[in-house]
Amino acid sequence: MAPKTSTDRTTARLVVLISGNGRNLQAILDAVTAGALPAEVVRVISNRGTARGLEKARRAGVPTRVLRPRDYPDRAAYDAALADTIAAESPDIVALAGFMRILDSAFVQRFAGKLVNIHPSLLPRHRGLDTHGRALAAGDERHGASVHYVTEDLDAGPCLIQGSLRVADDETPDSLAERVMTRVEQRIYPQALAWIAEGRATWDDGRIRFDGRPLETPIHVDCDPD
Ligand code: GAR
């Protein structure tokens, strides 16, 4: 099925923004290769030249671009240049995959309804950083990740899907981060992007529609081992 925002394409044009390891990017690339995500990753952009995800993109034959903040006078100039670089790809979807910068409101407005993010917590719990340590400190029994549309409020846009798992008794922030990455994030992000690419999930001026109906609560996936 063609993406909602496109009239004459059979696959969605996807731009992915990264800052680091790119394990979510790899899951996205693998889903495309497997035919589970009807999209083409047309460009990967990083704010850091050392991001290991850039190598993952190159291995998959995806063009990359590095835009370094220090090459721009201020945040507004950087975000405008980043937005122009993305817009040049005519994307249907812009996926933040561990892109560790806050984007200004002009940027968010320009890509409204196309801009999605994965966040390593069960939003609205634990917005911001150190989500795994904070989940443990709070004694959360379940923890996970959320894919949400990006709005001007940090980590507060509507969630499309959340995946969760039970926090183990002997859990550390690192073990939890690893399990959330492999069991939750790498599963729910390709799934969310597939729903958007297929036109099953759509953005309706601040609200998500799923299969044509308003999505009242995020779709939830239980990611505990069988
Ligand atoms: C992921 O855990 C992602 O959810 C998180 O950064 C990591 C990136 O890993 N994103 C955020 O915290 C955004 N606020 P990756 O580069 O290996 O995909």
| 197 in any annotated domain | yes
Query: Of ligand 1's atoms, which has the minimum distance to the CA of residue 52?
Result: 16
| 1 in any annotated domain | no
Ligand 1 pocket check: which of 16, 19, 24, 123 to mutate, most ligand atoms within 8 Å of Cβ? 24
Verify whether residue 148 is a known catalytic residue: no
Query: Of ligand 1's atoms, which has the minimum distance to the CA of residue 24?
Result: 18
pTM: 0.95
pLDDT at residue 69 is higher than 60: yes
* The pair of three-digit structure tokens given for residue 89, joined into one six-digit string: 């790809």
Task: Quote the domain boundaries for residue 70.
Answer: 12-222
Q: What is the model's pLDDT at position 1?
A: 44
- Residue 2 pLDDT level (bands cut at 50, 70, 90): very low
| 201 in any annotated domain | yes
Degrees, nearest 5: CA angle 95-100-106: 65
Dist. CA 8 → ligand 1 center (Å): 33
| 7 in any annotated domain | no
Q: What is the model's pLDDT at position 79?
A: 98
pLDDT at residue 8 is higher than 80: no
Ligand 1 pocket check: which of 100, 143, 165, 175 to mutate, most ligand atoms within 8 Å of Cβ? 100
In the chain, pLDDT over 90 holds for what percent of residues? 94
pLDDT at residue 4 is higher than 60: no
| 2 in any annotated domain | no
* The pair of three-digit structure tokens given for residue 146, joined into one six-digit string: 């959320």
CATH number at residue 18: 3.40.50.170
Q: What is the model's pLDDT at position 10?
A: 74
Integer CA distances (angstroms), 184 to 11, 23, 97, 175, in order: 25, 12, 14, 13
pLDDT at residue 169 is higher than 80: yes
Rounded Cα distance between 187 and 190, Å, is: 6
* Residues 6 or more apart in contact with residue 208 via CB below 8 angstroms: 149, 158, 160, 201, 202, 214, 215
- Domain count across the chain: 1
